[in-house]
Every structure is written in structure tokens, then in C-alpha cells.
Structure 1
Amino acid sequence: MTATAVDDRSLISHTGLWYFPIAFLARLPFAMMVVGVLTLVVSVRGSVALGGLTSAAVGIGTVIAGPLVGDAVDRLGQRRVLVPLGLVNGALLIAFPFVASSNLVDGMLLTAAFLIGLSAPQAAAMSRSRMMTIIRDRLSPHRRIRTFSRSMAYESAADETAFVIGPVVVGILASFIAPWVPIAAAAVLSLVFVTAFALHPTARVSTSHGESVAEMAPARDLLRAPVLVLVAATFAVGMFFGSTLTSLTAFMSERNDVDAASLMYGVMGIGSAVLALAVAVLPTRFALRWRWMLFAGVLAASALGFALSDSVGGVTLMLAVMGLGVGPTLVTLYSLAGQRSPVGRSATIMTVLGSAVALSQSLSAAVTGAVAEAFGARTAMVLPFLAAGVVVGLGVLNLVIERRARRTPVGSLEVPRALECPRPVG
């Protein structure tokens, strides 16, 4: 992708057909890590609490590395950062089953999980950053707004689909072959497809315009309230994911069918992926702030139903409904993040959001695992409802932030200014 002139071609004409399957498969290792680590540790070591702590270690590593990786990508380009990360992450994933099944102390197990998270390439955040840059710098102005909305919807749907397929693959491989096989499969995917994603021609978009570090907005711009509320909301969505998966694992463990938990968890992602794609056809007059409130409300109501369910059938039904809320909520949050991203900081903000989800997912998995062991699965199943309530509360806070912003000369935060005013090209 060396051409830099703005033209009237579609987004896919700039990316090529092969970009999307490669980018999708590059997401799967990240989608399989937390579930695979949790399933393996619970199966091998026999402790839901330890499994949750190990998942938390993955998340802690991811959140520490996320902003650093995003900043490095914004400065150096994706290829120089993603190629070594993919290779290191694949090697660490290969080693993890040996560590888990050995007689090494729990501290070594947690260290290995932390290193896996630290080296996570976060292909989803990198893909969003690439799409934003291509839309801003290479599409004709009349295409940008609609293409941006559809692109963010697709990216979130791809995430949700990956998080459906990831747990399902983990569940199938763990149930029918062995608990270590999903981690080995994630290692192969990381080595092959993360590398292919890093080497794809679209990886050059972040450096193709000769952007210098001086053109990047200062890091303090990431600490503004309109950005921080999105980070907090994605953190809460991660809390929802982690508490749902772990409480579901505890629920099925009490029924001596722990491997089925991953398959049931995948049910939530079916509606999530479908609704995430459907968001792209919603009218633009349906403002993002109100989409946030609507879909977060659906999430909270279904999470309450999940907490009150006491049968496998009832839990499965509530998981399906929960998916109808969480997918569109994520689309909305990432769309707002794309609009509010400071100049030159798109990769940074996307990795920060991805890290927030991963960290909170892992930390809530640890807390939920401890609650499940101390008080039982029924108590642990209340935690997803609390997380969904936080998402709703932050949606209300976002309304306040936007109302205040509209009183300033800058205007509404709904306007994606980065898309309206691309930097010079050519």
C-alpha cells in the first residue's frame, strides 16, 4: 500500500480481500488466551480460584504492555512491533502447558501467565487503528463518516465472533482431546497469523505519510474526561466478561461438566456478533450516547436474569440475551473512541481500551473465582449484573460529559473531527 492519494474507491479496495481473514485469525490467540489458561489450570490443578488468578496474571501483563505497545506502534509502525511480539507470544504459549502440568510452584505458573499477557500482540486494536488511518487519509470525504461507522461495527463484530469461536474451540479441543491442546493451537495461530497480519501491506499506513513524533498529540490528551469515561466503560465490560465466564465455569463445575462452560459461554457471542454488525445500519440520528444507554440496559436486565437462573437451560437462554446487549455496547464504545482519539494516538487509545478489557476480565475472573469457592456459584453469578450496572452508570456520566461539551465552542463530541479533517496526503 504505497499509494497515498485520496480517491473514491471503497475501503476494501485499499485493504485487499485477504486482509480481513488474516486480521480475524490474528485475533484468535488473544481470544483464546484467558479461556484457555482458565480451563487448563482448573483441569490440571483442580482449583477455580487458582485458574482465576492465572487469568488475572494474563490480564495484568496485557494492561502493562498495552499502552507501551500502542505508543511504540504510533512511533515506529506496526511491523517493527508486531513481528517480534507474535513470535515471543507463540513461544510462551507453547511453554505454558509444560509449566501448568509440572510440579513448579504456583508463583511460576502466575509468572508464565503474566509473560503471555505482556507479549500479547492485540491484533484487534491494531486493526482498528489501521482502518481509522485508511479511512481518514485515503477515502474521499463523502465516504468517511459512513465507512467509519461500518468499519467500527465490523471490527467489534469480528471481536465478538472471535470471542465466540475462541471459547468454542477451547471447549471442543479440551473436551475431546486434552486441556493443553487449545493453548498449543493458540501458539500456532500466534506464530503464523499474527506474523502474517504484521507483514500485510496495510501495516505501512501508520508510517506512510512521514508522520513525526512531533505531530502526535501529547499523552495528557488521553487523560481528558471524554476519553477516560470510555476507558472506564470498556473496563466495566471486561468485568462483565470475566465474571460471567468464571461464574459460569463454577456453575458447571458444580454439575461436574466444567469443560462445557466454554461452549455455553460461546452462546453469548452469537447474538453479540449479529447485533454488533447490525449497528452499522442504525440511522446516524440515533446518537451514540443513546445507543450506549439502550444496549447497556439490555445487558443489565439479562445479567439479572442470569443471576436468578438455576438451570442449565435458563442460564443458556440468559447468555444468549446478554449477547444482544454486550456486542452493540462495545461497538458504541469503540466508535466513540475513534471519534475522540487525539491526533496521532489512534493505536495508543485502541490498545488502552483493549488492555482495559483484558485486565478487568482477568481481575474479575480472579475475584469471581474466589467468591465462587467461598460462597458458591449462585453468589458469583450476581457479579455480572453488578458489572453491567457500572456500564449503565458510566453511560449516564457520558451524557453529562457530552452535555457540558456541547456548551463549549468546540461543539458536539458526536462529530468525528479526525475524519473530517485528514492530514495532507501525497
Structure 2
Amino acid sequence: MTDHAPSLVRAAGRSYFPIALVARLPYAMMVVGVLTLVVAGRDSLAFGGLNSAVVGLGAACVGPLLGAAADRFGQRTVLLVSGVASTTALGLMAWVVYSPLPSYAVLAVAFLVGASAPQIAPMSRSRLVQIIGARIAPGRRSRTFDATMAYESAADELVFIVGPFIVGLLGTTLDPWAPVAGAAVLTLVFVSAFALHPSALAAAGSHEQALPPAPARELARPALLAVVAGIFGVGLFFGSMLTSLTSFMADHGDAASAGLVYGVMGIGSAALALGVALFPASFALRARWLVFGAIMLGGAVLLPFVSSVGAMCAVLLLIGTGIGPTMVTQYSLGAHRSPLGRSATVMTILGSAVIVGQSTASAITGSVADLFGTDAALFLPIVAAGVVVLAGVVNAAQPHPAQTAPEITPTRQKVAS
């Protein structure tokens, strides 16, 4: 067998990938779902945006701790506990918004929604990296790693496009509480299935327990912080783009179609993300970040000049070709630079950075759109893309940037930085 992909599929189990894909949908639905619910239930766009930001704050505060717990105790226990907690918090959110309780009670529950959110995407990355080290032949590990990071980023792109679309669909056809209730059901069923999947045993931490984990202070290394800043910028772009696009579509009399138009961005993004695995090794990770970040920024600069829905779709398609490879590069660098025994922690930090950026930008962009209009709001994705490029410049200035896949062994992952 010469194709590495079937080997990983067999090692992880054929049911793994569809379960992992659906299990990460609730995470992508939370911010927009809470925004939709609170705006409808409390009749305040500003308060809805504030709740979205608080969801992101909860994820930022607790998400990395869930990753650290998974590194120490294994993913299965952590995901089962967080899955039940998240289902409960989402159900409570659907109730408290329509209750007579004061605003601070709604904000408290919004924080719990973010804090309890199961970190499926980073857990999946960490799990697959460990499976590659334990089950894939040494000669195939580098290419398998590249392909896995490409697939995982494409999957993230897909759910962050599909998630808001599902929220819009459920919210308009059923009721504003339906997206949050749907996320609760998906969490209970698919997060539990992901936690109980046999592949979780590969990420139980048994191999890395042979060596002590690196000190937590190594998570603050500049090379890793540059990656966190860059992927935070991508989250900022997601939030500012979706919110400003919603305002743009409202100006064109079809706000309900914002999710569909937003999905155009995912076409080029997912395609190029998957294509990253075919890039030559000479196209270094630091160069990829700068090249595709520049494409993302160049496309964003065109947004304020767009006047039609067709032109907006064309610009979003262009921007998508930059976002996909940029995210693959950032997650690959995060995997390279994960300190020993801290892979799940790093991946959850990166995943939390995306949702914090998304929720923060959603709140800010919504306020800007209300106060100054769509034209002003469309400048915010430019700022977000600028953050991505600036972080890429900082990354390129690091003395030892990772350029190839990390050397993964069955007992440890050696970090190239």
C-alpha cells in the first residue's frame, strides 16, 4: 500500500472522520446561535453582541484548561464531562433568555456556554497526531502529517461556514431558540460518540506519561505566541466578515441569505486547504503564511468597493483561497511548536483563539454597522486580515521557524521550532 491516507483511516477507524466532523458543528454554531437567540428574546442587538463576546470569553478562559486536562487524564473523560456540561448550558441558555431573570443572569449562562464547549477540533488534531506517531510507518509520517493538518483545517472551514448557515435555517424556519437547542442535541449525541470512539485510547496520554510534560511556561514562547496571534486574526476575520456581510445583504433586502453568500468563501478556502498537502517542501511554512495572508488581505481591501451581491461573491471566493492555506499553516506550526506533552493544550488554545476572535469581532462589527452603516463595517475585515499578515511577519522573524513536519515517534513528539 503506497497511499498514506487509507492507512490513517484504518488506524483511526472508518467511522472516526464523519463523527469528528459533525461533533465540531456545535462549536461553530454557538456564537451566532446565542446572538440570534438573545436578539430575538431580549430585543437588543447590542446585548446580543455582548453575549456572543461573553461566549468567546468563556471559551478563552476554560478551553485551554480542558486541553491541559486531556493531556493529563486523556480525552475520553474530559470530553464526556464537558459534553454533558455543554448540553446543559445550551439548554439553560434557551430558557434563561425568555425568563424574567435580569441581564446579568443571561450573561452568566453565556459564559457557561463558552466555558463548557467541547474542544473537538483541537482534540481531533491532537488525537490524529498521536495516532500517526503510534501507527504510521516512519517513512510516511511526514506526508501523513501534512495531509492530516490540511484535512483538519478544511473541516474547520466547512463547519464555520455550515454552522452559521444551520443557525439561520433553524432560526427562520422554526424559532430563534431552535439553533441553540439543535446544538445541544448534536453535542449530546456526537460529542459523546467522539469521546467514546476507540481512537480516543490513542490520545489517553499513556505514551507521553513515560516522559514528564514540558513546563507550562514553554507555552509562552514567542514562536508559539505568534501563531496564536495569527489564528486569533483569522477568528476576527470570520466574525467581522459574517456580521458586515449580514449588514450588506440587509441593505440589498435579503439579510436571510447572508449565510448562503458567506458560504461562497468556504469553496475556495476548503479546496486550497486540502491542496496544501501537495505543496513542495521548499515552500516553507513561514512563506506560505505570508503569501496566503497577503491574498486574504488583498481580497479584504476590495470589500468596501463592492456594490452588488455577485461582486461580493467573487471577492469572497478570492478571500477564501487565502484563508484555507493560512489556517493549515498556522495549525501545522502549532503542532510543530507544541511543547512535549502539551499538544492538546496548544490545539485548544488555537481553537479558543478562533472563537474569541469571532465573537469579539461580531460584537464590534455589529455596533459599527448600527452606528455608522455597512460601508464602515466592511473596513473591519481589512483590519482583521492585517492582524493575520502582521502576525505572519512576526512569525517569519523567528530564528528557527518550522518548515517540515515534526518528527513524531510513538513515545514523544519532537518539536521543530
TM-score where L is the length of structure 1 = 0.91
Q: Residue deviations 1:243-282, cap 9 Å, x none?
A: 1122222333445543322232222222211211111122
Q: Which moved more, 1:284-293 or 1:265-274?
A: 265-274
1:184-223 correspondence to structure 2 within 5 Å:
184-207=181-204, 209-212=206-209, 215-223=212-220
2:320 to 320, 323, 330: 323
Amino acid in structure 2 at the alignment position of 1:323 = G
Matched, 1:277 2:274: yes
Contact 2:208 2:411 in 1 (8 A): no
Following the alignment from structure 2 to structure 1, what is the Cα–Cα distance between the partners of residues 42 and 313?
27
Q: Residue deviations 1:296-354, cap 9 Å, x none?
A: 11111111112222333332332222211111110110011111111111100000000
Contact 1:35 1:262 in 2 (8 A): no
Q: Residue deviations 1:342-376, cap 9 Å, x none?
A: 11111000000001111111111111122222212
Amino acid in structure 1 at the alignment position of 2:403 = E
> In structure 2, the residue corresponding to 1:212 is in which secondary structure?
helix
> Offset at 1:9?
8.0
Residue 354 of structure 1 is matched in structure 2 by 351
1:253-402 correspondence to structure 2 within 5 Å:
253-255=250-252, 257-401=254-398
Amino acid in structure 1 at the alignment position of 2:170 = L
Gaps of 5+ in 2: none
Q: Which moved more, 1:32-41 or 1:15-24?
A: 32-41
Following the alignment from structure 1 to structure 2, what is the Cα–Cα distance between the partners of residues 13 and 131?
12
Matched, 1:64 2:61: yes
Following the alignment from structure 1 to structure 2, what is the Cα–Cα distance between the partners of residues 46 and 306?
29
Residue 37 of structure 2 is matched in structure 1 by 40
Residue 111 of structure 1 is matched in structure 2 by 108
Q: Which moved more, 1:348-357 or 1:336-345?
A: 336-345
Residue 409 of structure 1 is matched in structure 2 by none
Q: Residue deviations 1:112-144, cap 9 Å, x none?
A: 211100000010000000011111222111010
The 3 A distance-change label for structure 1 pair 91 and 213 is farther
What RMSD, in angstroms, separates the aligned Cα atoms of the two structures? 2.1
1:423 to 404, 411, 417: 411
Contact 2:30 2:183 in 1 (8 A): yes
Residue 162 of structure 1 is matched in structure 2 by 159
> In structure 2, the residue corresponding to 1:216 is in which secondary structure?
coil
The 3 A distance-change label for structure 1 pair 105 and 263 is farther
> Offset at 1:86?
0.6
The 3 A distance-change label for structure 1 pair 9 and 313 is closer
Amino acid in structure 2 at the alignment position of 1:13 = R
Following the alignment from structure 1 to structure 2, what is the Cα–Cα distance between the partners of residues 113 and 314?
36
Amino acid in structure 1 at the alignment position of 2:231 = T
2:77 to 65, 75, 80: 80
Q: Which moved more, 1:354-363 or 1:40-49?
A: 40-49
> In structure 1, the residue corresponding to 2:208 is in which secondary structure?
coil
> Offset at 1:100?
2.2
Q: Residue deviations 1:207-250, cap 9 Å, x none?
A: 36353386211111111111110011011111111111222223
Q: Residue deviations 1:153-202, cap 9 Å, x none?
A: 00011111111221221122222222221111111100000000001111
Following the alignment from structure 1 to structure 2, what is the Cα–Cα distance between the partners of residues 34 and 379?
22
> In structure 2, the residue corresponding to 1:259 is in which secondary structure?
helix
Amino acid in structure 2 at the alignment position of 1:423 = T
Residue 227 of structure 2 is matched in structure 1 by 230
Contact 2:70 2:78 in 1 (8 A): yes
Contact 2:52 2:110 in 1 (8 A): yes
Percent identity of equivalent pairs: 51
Amino acid in structure 2 at the alignment position of 1:413 = A
Matched, 1:96 2:93: yes
The 3 A distance-change label for structure 1 pair 252 and 415 is closer
Following the alignment from structure 2 to structure 1, what is the Cα–Cα distance between the partners of residues 314 and 328?
23
Residue 3 of structure 1 is matched in structure 2 by none
> In structure 2, the residue corresponding to 1:14 is in which secondary structure?
helix
Contact 1:37 1:54 in 2 (8 A): yes
Contact 2:207 2:411 in 1 (8 A): no
> In structure 2, the residue corresponding to 1:326 is in which secondary structure?
helix
Q: Residue deviations 1:39-69, cap 9 Å, x none?
A: 2233343433222211111100000011111
Contact 2:70 2:204 in 1 (8 A): no
Amino acid in structure 1 at the alignment position of 2:26 = P
Q: Which moved more, 1:391-400 or 1:168-177?
A: 168-177
> In structure 1, the residue corresponding to 2:304 is in which secondary structure?
helix
Matched, 1:52 2:49: yes
Contact 2:72 2:205 in 1 (8 A): no
> Offset at 1:424?
7.5
Amino acid in structure 1 at the alignment position of 2:388 = V
TM-score where L is the length of structure 2 = 0.93
Residue 121 of structure 1 is matched in structure 2 by 118
Following the alignment from structure 1 to structure 2, what is the Cα–Cα distance between the partners of residues 206 and 354?
18
> In structure 2, the residue corresponding to 1:342 is in which secondary structure?
coil
> Offset at 1:291?
1.0
> In structure 1, the residue corresponding to 2:231 is in which secondary structure?
helix
Following the alignment from structure 2 to structure 1, what is the Cα–Cα distance between the partners of residues 254 and 195?
39
Amino acid in structure 2 at the alignment position of 1:414 = Q
Residue 403 of structure 2 is matched in structure 1 by 414
Gaps of 5+ in 1: 1-6, 406-411
